Amino acid sequence: MTEVIAVFDIGKTNKKILLFDSNFKVVKQHEEKFPVITDDDGFECDDIDLITSWISKSLEEIVAGDEFDLKGVNFSTYGASLMFLDENGHRLTPVYNYLKEVSASIAEDLFAKYGGKNEFCRKTASPALGLLLNSGIQTLWLKQEKPDVYNKAKSVLHFPQYLSYTLSNEIVSEPTSIGCHTFMWDFDQMKYHQWIADNKIALPEPINNDVVFLADVAGKEVKVGTGIHDSSASLVPYLKASPAKFILVSTGTWCINMNPYNEEPLTASELEQDCLCFLTPNKEQVKSSRLFMGHFHEVWAEKLAKHFDVPGDSFKTVKNDEKLVADLLNKYGDTSVYFPNGKESFDEGLKVVDLSVFANYEEAYTKLMIDLTALCITSINLAVPENDETEILYVSGGFARNPIFIELLKKSFPAKKVLISEIDNSSALGAAMVISDTLSEADVAKLDLGIQE
């Protein structure tokens, strides 16, 4: 039988189980979509009972079969959702949706007591998001809105740790969940922020993600991981297998640039420019910046297609024409056509840009990519410290397939290797890798980062 680690990769839309062998190859994968339910306020949320029942049944099937020898289980999930347990370890609440809006006064009171909004957000490396996305707010919201429930709570777990708890019965915290826009972690002191103790919130001290617990899973002794926040999990394969220090440029609807080698404290200015910090599985800071690049691209690509009367996906066939790029750079210099006053002028650009200045679709789209890449470079540079030791830019996601984007990045970062890296299921892979010691033959050196130069 093949030794495997099972990872449950729980996203908002899709829930997957993946089995990884000792070479970190996926040997089996299954995906489910579960209907959502509503919480006690009528707001949409995940059906936690359905999810945990599916997890149990899936593990029972693996153990009962004769194909795989289950050695470890871990969880990679979205963050920003908390679970409250009573003195008997029973769940008190639904898994509240992190998009749920709560009264702004809760956060404002917190800011007022602890140094003002700018300093509090800087210290916790958390933009004020106005929702339960700042998961620490959920504790204060529950205390204010549902005191009867809150007063019964003896333990508070982030979502990945709750799923782990359903198997291990261990109440733990870990760096990746508490370090990501939660308002809970003081990055200056590298410990829980003072307001947690002042409010007597029952958060366990964080342990590193490579800790495992022996648990009985369907009658078999299996090692269970702590669970890990999916954003941090996607960084793990690079932390384990990259030959040199790097920045990961993860592109999609959001372009998120992650630098695990930037120890500089977050500044108020960086926070205003959409930067934040989170933690690696070893409790080290990751400076991160983000840009709504995929969304900007999608809206403008549709507008260009209509104007030039071409199919909506015509951008997929536009090649990197070096002469055209050079001509456009000579003509416009650093002036952006599509974003006349930076990324904040996206809506303004949609109204004022005169597309008739371009001879054809290829020219208009190439200039769009020049302008978008310039915004992205500014965003990447926010994650680069003064004494930069990174040697590689890994580019993953949708824009890794855009030749104009990749060539412009190479020109802008001549001292770094710009490498396209396509890793399927990177969050699930990271969750498997942090507990890879559960497999007797696991070898990080065998990991394929999917590199294309």
d(CA 184, CA 362): 48
Which whole number is the average pLDDT over 252-280? 91
The DSSP call for residue 215 is E
Model confidence at 446: pLDDT above 80: no
Q: Which residues contact 288 (CB under 8 A, 6 or more apart)?
A: 256, 257, 258, 259, 275, 276, 277, 278, 383
At residue 263 the predicted structure's pLDDT band, cuts being 50, 70 and 90, is: very high
d(CA 205, CA 275): 26
Residue 217's alpha-carbon distances to 12, 17, 47, 212, 447, in angstroms, are 26, 16, 22, 14, 28
* 2-232+426-452 shares its CATH topology with 234-422: yes
Please write the tens of the pLDDT for every residue from 79-107: 788 999 999 999 999 999 988 888 889 99
d(CA 389, CA 259): 10
pTM (2 decimals)?
Answer: 0.87
CATH class of 234-422: alpha beta
pLDDT number for residue 453: 67
Please write the tens of the pLDDT for every residue from 52-85: 999 999 999 999 999 999 999 999 998 788 999 9
Which whole number is the average pLDDT over 127-131? 81
Please write the tens of the pLDDT for every residue from 15-32: 999 999 999 999 999 999
Mean pLDDT estimate for the chain? 93
Using CB atoms within 10 Å of the CB of residue 176, give its burial: 0 to 12 exposed, 13 to 18 middle, 19+ buried: buried
Please write the tens of the pLDDT for every residue from 108-123: 999 999 999 999 999 9
CATH class of 2-232+426-452: alpha beta
Please write the tens of the pLDDT for every residue from 132-159: 888 899 999 999 999 999 999 999 999 9
Which whole number is the average pLDDT over 184-203? 93
pLDDT number for residue 19: 98
Supply 419's token pair.
Answer: 């490498």
449 sits in the region (left: phi over 0; alpha: psi -120 to 50; else beta) called alpha
Domain boundaries, the chain: 2-232+426-452, 234-422
